Structure 1
């Protein structure tokens, strides 16, 4: 019988979070970002759960878009990273994938002929990862018309670097740059809004927003948790207690003897570790929960196990499920203790942990 370590996926919470994104997007439509295997929740089940509410999906790459088609879903899929080979353009045209083109090499591929897909152009407004600079757009647009594919262009996208930081002025600057750069083509669509942008008062989201982490209940805003933003946790990561014992005052637990009991302490070992994607850098005092009661980790996280202090759960016994994150302990809390963000924790849960949905 396999261990009962599992990631339980609440699809109703997912749908509720999408509805929150759609409401906060105002007049913009919201494409559901389901890249990285649905942020670790399972791309097929996530996309299927949103199929009757999301008019469009967004992923990073063509293999993720293909997984959506394999799930039997027909909505258009935006490829945020574009395509990586000339032949991918024909596949995009056939499968109704909408690549975001961001470089000279991709324009060269369009010039090679064949049936061009509907596509978007990436505008580099200051993040400096991908995209054409604003002063390059007129030449790019002229080139597209010469190639004869201008009619396939949906519009322009950009991406914010600091939208998670309410104190930053960079989002406003990027927005102004984007508006100026795209103004000569008012008939084309525009998309800039990541999850964090949905929570910036007065921020234009234009025609299409792109909610990602907020769909899964994680916070996109520095200093806030998902529930504080009105978002519901979608993943509950659970693992069983596999033993309990009392360690005497002065005894240590785990590798490096990193935690030493100050008094006789009842503790337990939980069947999950960094081999399952639980963060190794989540140390002593990182919260967990048993039956709705908060407990804490002690010592170092091992590959397959971690230790918890059961002082606050005196009735806990072997076999009891321990919530590592979920509704009692937020994933943003655990991420903060581990010095990272909820995005990394959710996408980092390994294939060793089965996903079950309800």
Structure 2
């Protein structure tokens, strides 16, 4: 019998979350970020569910864009890291992709390509500005000349100025305001559309909304914020990860459970073994005490997560039996909470699910 570990993906919840993002700035368009296989939810299925609502989709690299085109997605697709060689520009033209541009080297490559391909038209370029994160982007001093070079290319139909916030999920810090000031300086005197907001920007920084939003983690019902937040409270979880109990045993007081003997029974304890482990993407860093949901109430991990299995204390669940379903995260156990226990963020848990986990989709 197949291992019964399932990620149930609620496509209607993802649609709700996209519409919630759009509602924060009714005047703006929104690129639905579905890179990394839609944060583990399945990029093609998520794109199909959003295709009537989404203004565009955002992916990290051209391989992800081609997967969407092969899956029948016709909406605009933005390459967030742009292109790296002329062959990719051919694919961008062929598949009508939008592309970010984060360096003068990419700009020069595009200019050389268009000198040879005078038949190209209708390109959409998003010029990325390094406003302070110092990861990707054109230096602020080079922004205006780069924009002028782009606008001089007759093949380029539209240009959007984009940047990325480093600390938008920490509203008390001054970094976001400094980045906004830098962007204003870089674009001074230029009438150009802007895209600045990731999920945290969408949810907390209305002064940064401008013409294009880029919601990512919030589409999947997880919050970028460590603290409660009004918009986050309206999100619906896009995924419920669940498995089943595959064994139960009585552990005597004083005996240990799992690798490293890190959890020791203080009293005689029933222990359930679950069919899930770090090879499925459930974090090995989840400590004893990490909550799961069993038969309508919480239980807790007992012992170290191994490659294929995890163990749970059944002291408060005398009714539990082999075959019972256990929610690891979802509607009852928020993925943000599990991430806190693991000392990580929900992005890593969701995008880290492996192909061993079966995805099952519902639309309503």
**Bin of the TM-score, shorter chain as denominator length:** over 0.9
Map 1:224-263; keep pairs closer than 5 Å. 224=228, 228-263=232-267
**Structure-2 separation of matches of 1:208 and 1:312:** 49
Q: Secondary structure at the residue paired with 1:173?
A: helix
**1:78-117 equivalences in 2 (<5 Å):** 78-112=78-112, 113=114, 114=117, 115=120, 117=123
* Counterparts of 2:353 and 2:229, CA distance in 1: 20
Quote the offset at 1:225 in angstroms: 7.6
Q: Per the alignment, do residues 152 and 236 of structure 1 end up closer, same or farther by CA in structure 2, a change over 3 Å counting?
A: same
Residue in 2 that maps onto 1:169: 174
Q: Distance in 2 between matches of 1:49 and 1:331?
A: 22
Matches within 5 A, 1:47-126: 47-112=47-112, 113=114, 114=117, 115=120, 117-126=123-132
Residue pair 2:21, 2:203 contacting (<8 A) in 1 also: no
Residues 227, 233 of structure 1: 8 Å contact kept: no
Instruction: Trace 1:200-211 onto structure 2 (pairs within 5 A).
Output: 200-211=204-215
Q: Per-residue deviation at 1:203?
A: 2.8
Map Cα deviations across residues 64-95 of structure 1 (whole Å, 9 max, x no partner): 11111112111111111111211211211221
Note if contact 2:222-2:232 (Cα within 8 Å) is conserved in structure 1. Answer: no
Aligned to 2:333: 329
Secondary structure of the corresponding residue to residue 7 of structure 1: strand
In structure 1, list runs of 5 or more residues that go unmatched.
none
Structure 1 residue ranges, 4+ long, deviating more than 4 angstroms after superposition: 145-149, 225-228
Q: Give the Cα separation in 2 of the matches to 1:60 and 1:228.
A: 25
RMSD: 1.6
Judged with a 3 Å threshold, the aligned counterparts in structure 2 of structure 1 residues 184 and 228 are, in CA distance, closer, same or farther, namely closer
Structure 2 partner of 1:141: 147
> SS of the counterpart of 2:86?
coil
Within the alignment, does 1:184 sit opposite 2:162 as a pair?
no
Q: Please, which runs of 5 or more residues in structure 2 have no aligned partner?
A: none
1:189-224: per-residue Cα shift (whole Å, max 9, x none)? 110010001222543210000000000011111223
**Distance change (3 Å), C-alpha of 1:212 and 1:145:** closer
Q: Deviations over 1:209-268 (max 9, x none)?
A: 000000001111122389953111111111110001111110110111100001111110
Distance 1:214 1:103, change over 3 A: same
Give the Cα separation in 2 of the matches to 1:50 and 1:33. Answer: 11
Once the two structures are overlaid, the 10-residue window that deviates more, 71-80 or 83-92, is 83-92
**C-alpha deviation, 1:11, in angstroms:** 0.8
Contact 1:286 1:334 (8 Å CA) reproduced: yes
The corresponding residue for 1:218 is 222
Residue by residue, what CA displacement relative to the aligned partner does 1:263-311 show, whole Å, maximum 9, x if unpaired? 1111100000001000000010000011221100011000000000112
TM-score in terms of structure 2 length: 0.94
SS in 2 for 1:125: coil
TM-aligned CA deviation for residue 43 of structure 1 = 0.4
Q: Tell whether 2:8 aligns with 1:4.
A: no
- Structure 2 match to 1:129: 135
SS of 2:185's partner is helix
Structure-1 residue corresponding to 2:313 = 309
> Shift in Å at residue 108 of structure 1?
2.0
> Is 2:159 the counterpart of 1:154?
yes
Instruction: Calculate the TM-score normalised by the size of structure 1.
Output: 0.96
Q: Secondary structure, in 3 states, of the residue corresponding to 1:22?
A: helix
Provide the rounded CA distance (Å) in 2 between the counterparts of 1:250 and 1:238.
30
**Residues 1:228 and 1:265: Cα distance change in structure 2 (over 3 Å):** farther
Q: Displacement of 1:313 after TM fit?
A: 2.0
Q: Does 1:38 align with 2:38?
A: yes
Mean Cα deviation higher: 258-267 or 108-117: 108-117
Moved more, 348-357 or 107-116: 107-116
